[in-house]
Amino acid sequence: MRKAINSKQGQVIIVSLLMFFAALIVVTTLLEPIIQFVDIGVNSTNSSVHGDLIATLLNYIPFFMVLVLIISLFLIISAR
């Protein structure tokens, strides 16, 4: 019984790592277009009342995407 549980947990970790690498490929593919759209969004908020806040939040979007990937990798490795 115990051996079956360990085997299943190993399979889950392998599938999780595969999904992490798939997400990594998607994020690296979409990172450049997202940065370009963030620049467009920042330029369009120049005359807005809260333009500085919006620009700051938009500039942090790529950072948070990468941060989520790093956190998910640590969660997979630690095998919650």
Tens digits of residue pLDDT in 27-46 = 999 999 999 998 888 888 87
Question: In sequence order, which residues have a C-beta less than 8 Å from that of residue 51 and are 6 or more positions away?
Answer: 45
Is the model more confident about 6 or about 24?
A: 24
What share of residues in the chain are helix, strand, coil (percent, to 5)? 90, 0, 10
What percent of the chain is modeled with pLDDT above 70? Answer: 90
CA distance linking residue 52 with residue 50, whole number of Å: 6
Residue 70 sits at the vertex; the CA angle it makes with 62 and 60, to the nearest 5 degrees, is 20
What percent of the chain is modeled with pLDDT above 90? Answer: 41
pLDDT of residue 66: 93
Instruction: Say if residue 80's pLDDT is above 70.
Output: no
